[in-house]
Structure 1
Amino acid sequence: MSDGQCRIDRAFIRVEHGLVHLRRTEGNANALPLVLLHASPGSSRGLEGLMTALAATPGAPPLIAPDMPGNGDSDAFAPDSPDIGWYADALIRLLDAMGLDRIDLYGTHTGARIACEVAAAHPDRIGRLIFDGIADYPDETRDLLLRDYAPEMAPDDYGTQFVWAFHFVRDQALHFPHFLRDPDHRLLSRAVPTAPELHASVVEVLKGLTSYHKAYRAAFAYRAADRMRAIHAPAMLLSAENELPTLRAANTAFAAALKDGRVDIVGRDMPGKAGALATFLRWTA
């Protein structure tokens, strides 16, 4: 574009059971497209900053960031209790609908777990793989997260869902898990979202009010360590200084379990993070 800014387009792709919404950019058609999978409880909107920084990198390929079914503007066609395997298959169906046989894949948090399963179950579809925040939790913690982290929600006559969504999003920046508000669970490395950021994130949660919990629960139940050894693609695990300590601590063991894994430490700035991804993905102008 003439002003030097990245243009992120939006589109809907029809798959067997509904419409999938995505964000995408143009890029080097000779390179593998990079598909980016977002964290819960939001959508690909949360990846716009990274997409902008990546698109500004010389040699950047097309970038594609779908909203998971039941999140953002994608239709909510997941079954009542989907597992991560279901979300992985949903991504493969989307790639098939788009005519994409092989991609590089980035996933953050819930998206990282989906990326893990896609790479393990469909090794022929993945070139290189990037995990941005992935861990397995002890059984006691996993049970607690499955029980309390993502309650099923629905609109009611008093509009309590609006107040709940605001506090749900804000509290995630203050504590992990968000419902344990003692000093031991305080997040000191994260800034509270600005008012515009908080508003935008709350809107995304409200869009998927009755379905947002499905991907969360699938992610918490997933055991990534069981699947890492089945991954053949070269993989990078990002260790960001503002990431949850639990997720940073898991990187070393996961990298050792992978056939070709490495850990890269990145700072808070988006251009630096994009540069680390571009180097690993071997983009050339």
Structure 2
Amino acid sequence: MRPRFYVLAAVLTTACHAPASAPPPTDANPACGPLPERVEVIPVEKPYPGELNEVFDFPDESSWWAPAPMDPAQAKYRAALVARLGEAALAPRVLLERARKDHAAMTDANGAREAENMTRALEGTGTIGPISCLEWRLFQHQDARYPMLEHPTELGAYVLRGEGRIRVYLSGGDLAGGKLRHEVKDRVRADVGRGFVALAHLHNHNFMFDRKPGDRMWTTEATVHFVGGTVAPSLTDVHAYRGMREELGLRGAWVTNGLDTGRFEAEDFDRLSAWE
């Protein structure tokens, strides 16, 4: 199991679920634009290998909230997963059921508890839908640095809206996990104080293959056969979300695997399980 200080650890309708505070798409097939090339980098103390904390700021357009069109990069990513798992095994509910069964069978009580949020999701807490344009571009940005299937890493992003803008604080590096940096959170808190809304926190749950105990994916003898890719938050995730709700007024959380995203509202954080 991953140590708890890695906060970004390692639902359900089939319709695309845009954030409650976001406008519905106005185009049935809107273009999915690129992220801005010019970004600000936030320096942090003692960065881990490859760590980048970036700020993106761009106009709030409805296309960002629409399902991401299937571009060549996403098609290649899906095809690689189909080759490893098969098409049917990629269904979000199937992944959740598989992971719930794996965790529930663990003899370690903490590991077994991770099945709780998978059960909540399967019973209807939160929603699930295709990855949105915004989520895909952020996922793709990290994938370009570290290919997600060959070298899994985790991204974390605060997504803010205000003044007709979307502002994203994106963090990631060469780590199958992540850290919530106070240098980033301080900037988010300041933006919220100026009237921006902390719409959601986004992070990904990797697919993980060819695992070996003690590897960079925090694999143990008990988890060597786990493939990941679930779109329900971990106990550590929910603990962090509750803190963000109190500190930043966080309205939601999104957990993606690069294909689909589980989306949870702030009130769902109390229905989900967290570390006590």
* TM > 0.5 fold call: no
Instruction: Choose between structure 1 and 2: higher helix proportion.
Output: 1
TM-score w.r.t. the length of structure 2 is 0.30
For normalisation by structure 1, the TM-score amounts to 0.29
